[in-house]
Amino acid sequence: MGGGRKRGRTQRRHFKQGRENVWKHNPQRPPAGEGGEGREGNPSWQPFATENPAFEEYYKEQQIIPEEEWDDFMSMLRKPLPATFRINASCQFFQDICSQLENDFRKSLETEVSDEHEQDAIRPLPWYPGNLAWHLNFSRMQLRRNQALESFHEFLKRENEVGNITRQEAVSMVPPLFLNVQPDHHILDMCAAPGSKTFQLLEMIHQSTKPGLLPNALVVANDVDVQRCNLLIHQTKRMCTANLIVTNHEAQNFPGCNLAKFCSETCMDEAKLQRVEFDRVLCDVPCSGDGTVRKAPDMWRKWNAGMGNGLHRLQVEIAMRGMGLLKVGGRMVYSTCSMNPVENEAVVAEILRRCGDSVELLDVSKELPELARRPGLSTWKVRDRGSWFGVHEDVPRYRKSVISPSMFPSGKGSKDVEVNTDVDADMKDSTDMGEGEQERNIAVADSNNGDSPKTEEKTEVDCESGEAPTRYKKLNSTSTRTEHSDYPLHRCMRIVPHDQNSGAFFIAVLHKHSSLNENQVVDGVKSEQNISKDNTGKLEKDLGSDKVSSEENIVPQHVVDDTNVLDVEQNGDMDSKSSKDKSSEDAKVIINEAEKGQAGTRDRRRQQNQGRWRGVDPVIFFKDDVTVKSIVSFYGIKDSFPLEGHLVTRNPDTSHVKRIYYVSKSVQDVLELNIKIGERLKITSLGLKIFERQSSKDGSPCTFRLSSEGLPLLLPYITKQILYASAIDFQHLLQYRTVKFPDFVDAKFGEEASALLPGCCVVVLREVSGHQDIGSIVTDPSAIAIVCWKGKTNLCVMVSPLDGKELLERISLRFGLKIPELVKEKPNQEVTGSDEQPDCATEADDQPESKASDMEIPDAEAE
């Protein structure tokens, strides 16, 4: 069973991260729209052709598109996907970027239009609120290769890197919009990597926040794979937020954090958080990904019908877990980048069937009215090993354990779903391929049971039942019966490529009216329980599911605790057994602790210092009063800025802490609860880096400097070590990075800088309109400030070169200053750095202490 879990994780990683973009790696491809023309006589190019007869047959039969639109649909699928991006409305230069796009790039790129269907080179997406999302009439490849687009491409790369924009597929931006996020919501992103949607959620909660204040909201971003968590951290780090927690769990077994299950009522403080529930849940599940063929054309070669069948059970489990974690009155969005109804409508129908009146599928047709979408299907078929089935009763007996009733519109199965002895042979048939062959075909759970003639032929040869020819002759007979779903699945949304020149996506919005009770949940898995325990491991391996639904092990009670509705009876973390960095011995210890109910009484300090999760640094509340008082005194931090309980570190040895992170009140509450229940949440990243230990040769009264990431939050509360510079001196600091006191244009500024205590300081741009009192500048949302180091003879900037370049260009545009090109040093001044320059003069080398972010991750366009 462990091998099945490992393969499941590997396969999901292939789906959403590992696909090659053959538009990039295949320079000899035919022109867009010509499909496979020009490849005749050259078999080596066939795997990359934008065609797959099985794909076309499958979706014609499913009737996801009217017959008269089929040619337009297929023609659009064969074209490269236009690039799109979104502006971060919470970023400081939001208005400047919008103006630059409207007034500069939109006009200068008009002559580069190459698509007869598009009138504008770039344009806002009409359905995205506030004109924040933009569509480019160029593919990613064209942006890289067209010399006329070079400056615009550099603009996109730079702004994306600093977090002012996010390059993201247009349809991928849709699901978070339907969550209707509010500034005080607790939000769970269950399958968050690579992080574009998480970043979008963070934009929403920070959009209306004033300087120096944090929203009450919380975003928990989870992913099953450690490496994908690294990508998630890399993406969200650009946001500089104190309201985010990144976790590493299997989504279908996300831990239920309920203090009542681990602590007696006498030790519970009613004023503190008792359980973790979410107002909004984004359930963007692992899927076959065939809606991304325009971005990842290699999907044409890899696709087969079995891919969706193999993921269906996992998708249902993840969605049900999300519904259990959702608060009553909350909203969950279920989405995939697949067009397959088995992964879409079938999953939604199963959620509604299991939850009954507790959950409603919402009609959101009036929301985002300019977004072109199609209603969900009410009828569909299931394809298995070359045959079509309209009802579960027509599925051969020995396949009923793999093709479940929930895949069909009614969700009803035949009474006889017992697993016979032939299942062993059948499972072997579907897994006989070598591992390399499975990887090449993205062989997720039963994907080899699709339409591949090679697979069927091999099954006949390898079958151990002795009756293989007869069985498979029966299987190839297609069922003619069909059925319709009784649920209002037309309320689901399908986005198809040829409606608005995009990718394909599926979205369903669900509202939770009441708590889920035992019968609603258990009835949903009765058909699954007929699978014998002896065959469970083989079925899991074949299906690519990490585990059997733990709903089977629910403790009987009238109303189930929703946050633990899918937890096992022991309340142990199911995924702790399968995590790469967790040994079986550790898992046993954890389960034993949970069974004994001793998590609420064991030594908190020992538990916190050691950390529960191997390979992941523990989260420690920083309580060194001497250090905190020295920081407060040195920078003159006002009492109104809350520090107690908001400072954390990832180093168990508090005497050698290098970095201190700041967390919001919402994150603080979750951390305190997590410690009380035995650190059930495996936290890989959290908090906003606000202070960092700094050493220098001349010494400083304070051993911790300010972090550029945390400066915008702290700036309104700093009263000491702060300077106000003119635009020209501010420009010189950014341009030359080290400036001696006498060389500042404003002599008074140089004198004020010289008078500061040695160590870290803040330089604020003085020219902010509308401020009579210079001290009020720091409370202005448009205030521009940088962290510097004051030495004996100079000031040295402590921002990364990339951030410095961005700031330099922004203030130059705003104040009409000219930046000399290729200037490396100021005339009559040494800029090689002085003895006073600190050991780490920039934050370019900053790395969070969390081991999950230690690796360097290349820049990649998200989702």
pLDDT tens track for 62-94: 999 999 999 999 999 999 999 999 999 988 888
**What is the number of other CB atoms lying within 10 angstroms of the CB of residue 385?**
26
Per DSSP, 105 falls in state I
Give the three-state DSSP class for 149: helix
> How far is Cα 669 from Cα 160, in angstroms, rounded to an integer?
32
> What is this structure's pTM?
0.77
Residue 421 has pLDDT above 50, yes or no: no
More confident residue, 434 or 245: 245
Render pLDDT for 575-629 as a digit per residue (tens, 0 to 9).
433 333 433 333 333 334 444 444 444 444 444 445 678 878 899 999 999 999 9
pLDDT reported for residue 212: 78
Distance CA 716, CA 710 (A): 12
Got the DSSP string for 54-91? HHHHHHHHHTSS-GGGHHHHHHHHTSPPEEEEEE-TTS
Cβ(617)–Cβ(851) under 8 Å?
A: yes
436's enclosing H/E stretch is helix 435-440
For 48-53, which contacts have Cβ atoms below 8 Å and span 24 or more sequence positions? 48/22, 48/297, 48/298, 48/300, 48/301, 49/300, 49/301, 50/77, 50/78, 50/293, 50/297, 50/300, 51/78, 51/300, 52/300, 52/301, 52/303
Q: Are 861 and 503 in contact (CB under 8 A)?
A: no
Complete DSSP assignment for 659-695: EEEE--HHHHHHHHHHHHTT--S-EEEESEEEEEE--
119/137 Cα distance (integer angstroms): 9
pLDDT digits (tens, 9 = 90+) for 107-166: 778 766 555 545 678 899 999 999 999 998 877 777 777 777 888 888 899 999 999 999
Cβ atoms 50, 497 nearer than 8 A: no
CB neighbour list of residue 717: distance below 8 Å, 6 or more residues apart: 212, 637, 638, 640, 641
Q: What one-character-per-residue DSSP string does 611-661 give?
A: -SSTTSPPPEE---HHHHHHHHHHHT--TTS--TTTEEES-S-GGG--EEE
Task: Of 544, 338, 570, give the one whose Cα is nearest residue 448.
Answer: 544
Highest mean pLDDT among 321-325, 521-525, 549-553: 321-325
Residue 830's pLDDT is 36
- Quick one: DSSP state of residue 715? G
Looking up tokens 């309340």, which residue turns up?
571
CA distances from 93 to 186, 239, 802 (A): 27, 13, 15
Is pLDDT at 851 greater than 70 in this prediction?
Answer: no
Per the model's pLDDT, the better-predicted residue between 599 and 339 turns out to be: 339
With tokens 């509308």, the residue in question is 770
Q: Parallel, antiparallel, or unpaired: how do β-strands 722-725 and 759-765 relate?
A: parallel
Of 446, 459, 721, 189, give the one whose Cα is nearest residue 438.
Answer: 446
Cβ count within 10 A of residue 50: 24
Q: Is 642 exposed, middle or buried (0-12, 13-18, 19+ CB in 10 A)?
A: middle
CA terminus-to-terminus distance, the chain: 30
pLDDT at 820: 57
Q: Which of 493, 484, 510 is nearest to 357 (CA)?
A: 510
Going by C-alpha positions, the residue among 285, 410, 414, 423 that lies closest to residue 344 is 285
What integer pLDDT is reported at residue 610 of this predicted model? 53
For 13, the token pair is 């990683």
Q: Where are the alpha helices (DSSP H) in 255-412?
A: 299-302, 306-325, 345-355
Reported as a single tens digit per residue, the pLDDT across 246-300 is 999 999 999 988 887 766 665 656 656 788 999 999 999 999 999 999 999 999 9
| Model confidence at 375: pLDDT above 60 | yes
